[in-house]
Structure 1
Amino acid sequence: MIACEIEAHCGHRRLKCRRLANGWTVSQAVAAAHQLVQDAGLPKVGLSDRSWKDWEAGVLPSPDYQDLLCRLFATNPVALGFAHDYSPQQPDPLWSGSASGATLPTGPELASRTSPDDGAEVAETKRRDAVKLAGLAMAAPAAAARILEQAAAEAMEFTRQAEATSLGSGTLDHLDLAVAEFNHAYSLKPPQAVFDAVLDYRRKVDRFLKADHTHRQERELRAFAGWLSELLAWLAHDLGNARTGLAFATDAFVQGRQAGHGQLCAWAMDAAASINLYEQRPAQAREAALKGLTEAPAEHPLTVRLHAQAARAAAADGDAEGFTTAFQAAEDAHQLLPPRSPGRFGMNVLPLADYALTSYPATSFIWLGQAEQARRHAEHALAVYEAAPAASRSPSREAIARIDLALAHAQLGDPEDAVALGHQALDSARVVDSVRHRAKDLTAFLTHRYPRHAAVEGLRERLATADAAARPTLPTTPSGA
């Protein structure tokens, strides 16, 4: 009777009604089945909670499992909803005995089946529908108490599943520390070594995402995946593989979206903007910068940097007016920054905004052909970088500032100083691809303007040697989902 009442009141499939009538959770039912197999000496089975839930959802078990379930509930496949029996049979003691047929209509079938000569059956159908709508209100007291008791057990099971995870207790803390250390190592260690280590961690996070975890843990894991991919984008750029860099920048943006982390999305687009600029794709660079601005917090140094990226992209496209407008927006945003700048993995990010305002104008004026303006800004940028404390100096930024200054001198008709500054840039402790790329711009200009100058040929040969020695083999796509 209990299983029948549950079916009538709740509309569950028969297998679930049987389980609830016995007062079992899914895990308890699975355990009871395994115990039956052991006690009866039956062949061992691989029954799991997932399989049982599939059956209760309507997936038909195999004949062997149907036999096991019939043994467990001491009944037949018809009573468990696995088959229909149209022959007369004795009523099942756990089901209503009022009908002689082996099958009982449920749900829409019950509501639609009426008898032309028995108005009481129509009334009974309507009563059952009303009971389903009213929930427990019209259930028998004993049945209602049993259902409520079972609901409490199921609620505990829901909670257990919501908290089910294969992550160790310190995994997320370890990832937080690792990402911070990788970001600190970015400017201090060879990019190839850092790339390999970061990619290894990115693959670990991908495995964590494919294993059991809670919803909260998934958001955190996706954020870590995004931060690692954002760093891999910069490292791939430093190593001269733009395709890999853009792939990881895209992955960082997607992971940030999945994690609901707008700032991460904005940082990813900052990387994409730079990579596109060095690939001579100013339109895509500007598009990435503007996309990042839609995600960046208004009073954040990243907003300053993204406006400056858009300005640099306009200059690369020969749009002097666009450069002026975007750079003014960057300066205005800088004025709105709070006294205390936010950090990123323990590092102050304000210098990144200051760098954009200091260095980007020099590069932009080079591209716009305004040599005197470029010289003035490059000298200022170089002075700022050289005056910085040793712990916060950036060799690659200093090198690029020297190349900007060299290009300004070359445009102003001073090839000797230009070549000297080019050699100083290549003497840097961190000659990454962006440095070599800008050095190529310098040697190309010098070769075109001063084709017979011996010193120019020497700088070009030195750059070719450095470039050939720095070409690693990188994967071309991120490993994350």
Structure 2
Amino acid sequence: MYAIHTQCDVPLLLAQRLAHDWTLDTAVTEYLRVCARAGISEAKLSPQQLSMFETGRSTPSSTNLDRLCRLYATRPDRLGFGSDYSTSADDGPTPAPAFRIGRRPRETTAPPGRTTHRRDILRGLLAGAGVAISGAVLDVLADARHSMTDTLESASVGENTLDQLERTAVEYGYAYQVSPPATLLAESVQDFLDTHALLERRQSADVRIRLCRVAAQLAGTAGIALVALGEHREARAWFRTAQVAAEETGDRALRAWLYAREAVIPFYYGTPQAALALAERARVVAGKTNCATAAWAPSLEARSLARMGRGADAAAAMQLSQAAFARLGDDQIGDTAYGYTERQLRWHEGSMYTVLGDTRRAQLALDAAWNLYAPTEHLDRALIAFDQATCLLRVGEVTMACRQAELILGAVPPQHLTGIVISRCGDLISVVPQRAARQPAVRQLRELVTATGRPELTQ
């Protein structure tokens, strides 16, 4: 491996793969197999990502670096990341890495002396026509080919890379319900950084638009994960970044979706007035576009208006949402990533009726929504269950409501027991009637919430 690194002047990570005689596809297959054997079920890596790591155009995260070390049964400095400061000489010296974290890749243009050497080797091939090609000649051929590939790729992004990024962005949209928010955040930001690196290059107009759309979706995914984790200030910043990227695409549906997603922040962590303003903006941006947000935004308005005590206006906004929902195509109402599904509509109806005190309609809608969600979709099911518990409070069943809240907290897997879940439970406690605040069930739930706390983002 070190001979390949020094003689062919290639980065250590690339030298490791070449030493195994693996193609990019083979290396990725082995990577996923090694991760599976280690019990890492969420591992993913594309040939394009690996190529970018190998050539220094992108830097692997600490998680990916650890898994690459597993793949090649080695340590980070032998893949070109970091340095070995140990005093033991048992393993021999470690060559200096070809590139370091945080630095741009080396220039692909060869120095004059090296170019002359290459030409001499190729002239020798001409002089000895008919003889077997030597290893040195093969190295020169590979080096020339890689140099040209790097030069061409630095000016444009391949269709396969674009397709992969677009598929990945959509997959995150589907994963947010079942993937732990911290995992979703880490992985989406890694792909966001890769997309950023591609946008730093000169791109054609259509490629830039596609990359900006991916960047907006990935930044939106990061914002969604941060909302779930309770990091609402940072979430706002990511939604702002997403809007900047979305503006370059001219996609009104995407911009409207981002505003609606951002409206969730003040809905749970701020004021209903602020949530209403963002929901209205989402509806206005959607305009006459037949997109999912045209139905989702009015339902957000309805829930916010209900919290403001404007029952008639809330009902009118929900009717607008239902009418827009009826106009959506099957692809939009079946899309859990960027669409608006029946289960969401039923939940939002139930949430509105819960706040308005119409517990009969609320329970019917909430029960319908609950039955449409899969057991693995932990976040929305937990939020629906808190609305159901609030309905119990509305009819005076304080003890039952508190017991249900305890069951919710116990049923949510630890990695999904995030800030928004704890915050919603706190909201439930805050609406317990003053006369019942000293009941044992209320006190026990309050102590449980205090003991559970809000998980730190770094955990």
Report the TM-score, using the length of structure 1 for normalisation: 0.58
Assess if the C-alpha contact under 8 Å between 1:359 and 1:377 holds in 2: no
Matched, 1:174 2:174: no
- The residue aligned with 2:71 is none
Does the 8 Å CA contact 1:436/1:463 hold for their aligned counterparts?
yes
Task: Write the mapping of 1:303-452 to structure 2, written as runs, cut at 5 A.
Answer: 303-338=294-329, 340-342=330-332, 347=336, 352-368=340-356, 370=357, 373=358, 375-388=359-372, 390=374, 394-426=377-409, 427-429=411-413, 430-446=416-432, 448-452=434-438
The amino acid that maps onto 1:404 is D
Deviation at 1:164, TM superposition (A): 7.6
Note the C-alpha offset of 1:236.
0.5
2:291 is the counterpart of 1:300: yes
Q: Which secondary structure state, in structure 1, belongs to the residue aligned with residue 319 of structure 2?
A: helix
SS for the counterpart of 2:400 is helix
> How many angstroms apart in 2 are the aligned matches of 1:243 and 1:217?
31
Aligned residue pair count: 308
Q: Using the alignment, how far apart are the partners of 1:168 and 1:362 within structure 2?
A: 47
C-alpha spacing 1:324/1:176, structure 2 compared with 1 (3 Å): same
**Alignment of structure 1 residues 80-91 onto 2, 5 Å:** none
**1:299-347 CA deviation, whole Å, 9 max, x = no partner?**
3332111110111111222222321221121122123234x23379x75
Task: Determine if contact 1:237/1:245 at 8 Å carries over to the other structure.
Answer: yes
**Matched-pair contact (CA < 8 Å) for 2:306–2:355:** yes
Contact 1:187–1:394 (8 Å) recurs in 2: yes
Give the whole-Å Cα distance in 2 for the aligned partners of 1:462 and 1:173: 46
Specify whether residues 179 and 349 from structure 1 end up closer, same or farther in structure 2 by C-alpha distance, changes over 3 A only. Answer: closer
1:229 to 219, 232, 236: 219
CA contact (8 A) 1:162 1:214 kept: no
Residues 238, 434 of structure 1: 8 Å contact kept: yes
| Aligned AA (2:206) | R
In 1, Cα distance between the equivalents of 2:273 and 2:408? 28
Q: What is the CA–CA distance in structure 1 between the aligned matches of 2:280 and 2:341, rounded to whole Å?
A: 16
CA contact (8 A) 1:407 1:442 kept: yes
Task: Name which of structure 1's ranges 444-453 and 251-260 shifts more when overlaid on structure 2.
Answer: 444-453
Residue 285 of structure 2 aligns to a residue in which SS?
A: coil
Matched, 1:460 2:446: yes
Residues 168-197 of structure 1 show CA distances to partners (whole Å, capped at 9, x for unaligned) of 453212211221332232122211011011
Pairwise mapping of residues 42-441 of structure 1 onto structure 2 (< 5 A)? 165-296=155-286, 298-338=289-329, 340-342=330-332, 347=336, 352-368=340-356, 370=357, 373=358, 375-388=359-372, 390=374, 394-426=377-409, 427-429=411-413, 430-441=416-427
Read off the aligned partner of 1:448 and give its amino acid letter.
Answer: Q
Task: Return the alpha-carbon distance in structure 2 between the equivalents of residues 465 and 471 of structure 1.
Answer: 14
Letter in 1 for 2:351: T
- Sequence identity of aligned pairs in percent? 22
What's the Cα RMSD here? 2.9
Distance 1:282 1:389 in 2: 26
- With over 3 angstroms needed to count, the CA separation of the structure-2 counterparts of 1:228 and 1:452, relative to structure 1, is same
C-alpha distance in structure 2 between counterparts of 1:409 and 1:389, whole Å = 21
Separation of aligned partners in 2, 1:304 and 1:181: 22
Kept in 2: contact 1:436–1:467 (CA 8 A): yes
CA shift for structure 1 position 353: 4.1
Query: Aligned in 2, Cα 1:347/1:310: closer, same or farther, shift over 3 Å?
Result: closer
Partners of 2:157 and 2:451 lie apart in 1 by 47
1:264 match: secondary structure: helix
Q: Could you say which residue in structure 1 is the equivalent of 2:72? A: none
Structure 1 unaligned blocks of 5 or more: 1-34, 36-160, 475-481
What secondary structure does 1:259 align onto? coil
Larger radius of gyration: 1
CA apart distance, 1:295: 3.0
Question: Partners of 2:429 and 2:248 in 1: how far apart?
Answer: 44
- What are the superposed Cα offsets for residues 425-466 of structure 1, whole Å, 9 maximum, x if unpaired? 212243343322221111222373412211211111222233
Q: Is the 8 A contact 1:167 1:213 kept in 2?
A: yes
| Structure 2 unaligned spans of 5+ | 1-111, 113-150
Distance in 2 between residues matched to 1:419 and 1:464, nearest whole Å: 14
Mapped contact 2:349–2:365 kept (Cα < 8 A)? no
Normalising by the residue count of structure 2, what TM-score does the alignment of the two structures yield? 0.61
CA contact (8 A) 1:282 1:317 kept: yes
Work out whether residues 343 and 368 of structure 2, in 8 Å CA contact, stay in contact via their aligned partners in 1: no
